[in-house]
A and B are shown apart, each in its own frame.
Chain A
Amino acid sequence: MSPLDPNKILVGYFGPFGGKRSNAAEETAKKLGAAKEAGTLEVPAGATVEFLRLDRDAASVDRFIATAKAGGAGKVLLLGESLGPLKVETLARDRGLPPKNVFISAGTAFLRRASAEVLKTDAPAAAMAEAAGAKLSADAGTDYCNFVFHRALRAGLSAVFVHVGSGLFEHFRDVDGAARGVNAMIGAWFEHTHGLAAHARGVSAMYPGDRPD
């Protein structure tokens, strides 16, 4: 495994499932990809940003985790869709593999196993939510959103899950707003990774381009 580099962020996003043609998370990721190409992603110079699609199955989640670790991604931002506003998830629970059928999974949403392991993100979720005008949430659900979030935290990755609004029947989505919000969250995450930033500031100040002699 490569050492995790806080300057590398891997954005994982779910593609369409359950018979849908699109997923608001994927649409948001595409907008963020365009922002990356345009140089408007709120990341510091030298940071690398990669995108990887997730499908709603365990093998895809395993591949994603392995890729994040092998690539040394020090930040993992996961995007999924849900009804409701843009929100940053803070907790992931070990709820086991969700049912294959998305409707059955949704139907189990009210079941809460009290004994399930709960892991907390180490990302600055409050600052990220504030930067985006988003809400904080302590329940990532019972489906693959929670599953991949838990697996990522269990694997020792610095991960956070963001739910973007799915809209109704793939309409009434604010993908531009979601992308702006997630971009602001990424900026806040880097801003609050202050240990690395302080280290980098000190090291870069050792090599002045404008040496005062």
Chain B
Amino acid sequence: MALALRLPAGFQPVAGEWVFRAGHDPDLDDPRLVHNLVHHPLANFVLHRRRLASASSAEQERNRMEAELRKAVDDMSAIESGPFAFDDGVVGQLFAFEFRLLDELRAEQVHGLRLDGVWLSTITYTAPLGVGARLERAEVKRCLASFTPPADDRSEGADVPA
């Protein structure tokens, strides 16, 4: 996944996002299934990166995220929260939980966060429970752990205001 874009001078990156959605599940092709009458929920990974405006740590960011989500997300359970080791040795944070997506449908979400210089990367896995194929939590974590940012991001950050 390599991108190239020659921007005019004066434009600085501040945020970026990639969405990776699971393919169509052939088990759901039966037209009698109610899921085929509507768009059924598909598992996905979302990679979001943004430049922080002020100094922080991955733990602070996870605490903030966790506090927001505990207030806002309906019927949260199976909560997992704490440090998370990425394959390249960086220690980030993980926050995972199950929640009610619809009355009859629950879903899971796993967030992996890491801070490289001023760049906060959040990789989010979201999948319905009981609909279509499901990745095991260990496989999700392996995917999250494999993320590495561009090398030049890590040297950026000496100018972050405290």
> A residues within 8 Å of B by Cβ?
3-7, 74, 122, 124, 126-127, 130-131, 188, 191-199, 201-203, 205-208, 211-213
Contact = CB atoms under 8 A, between A and B. Distances in A.
Nearest to A211: B39
Contacts of B107: 203, 206
A100 B93 CA distance: 49
A188 B120 CA distance: 15
Contacts of A202: 44, 46, 109, 124-126
Contacts of A195: 64-69, 72, 111
B50 A203 contact: no
Interface of B: 17, 19, 21, 23-24, 39, 41-44, 46, 48, 50, 53-54, 61, 64-69, 71-74, 101, 107, 109, 111, 120, 122, 124-128, 161
Nearest to A209: B39
6 contacts: A3-B71, A3-B74, A196-B68, A202-B126, A207-B39, A211-B42
A4 B23 CA distance: 35
A192 B41 CA distance: 27
A188 B50 CA distance: 12
Given A206-B107, A213-B24, 14 more contacts: A3-B72, A4-B72, A6-B71, A6-B72, A74-B72, A131-B53, A195-B65, A196-B68, A202-B109, A205-B42, A205-B46, A206-B126, A211-B24, A212-B23
Contacts of B48: 194, 197-198, 201
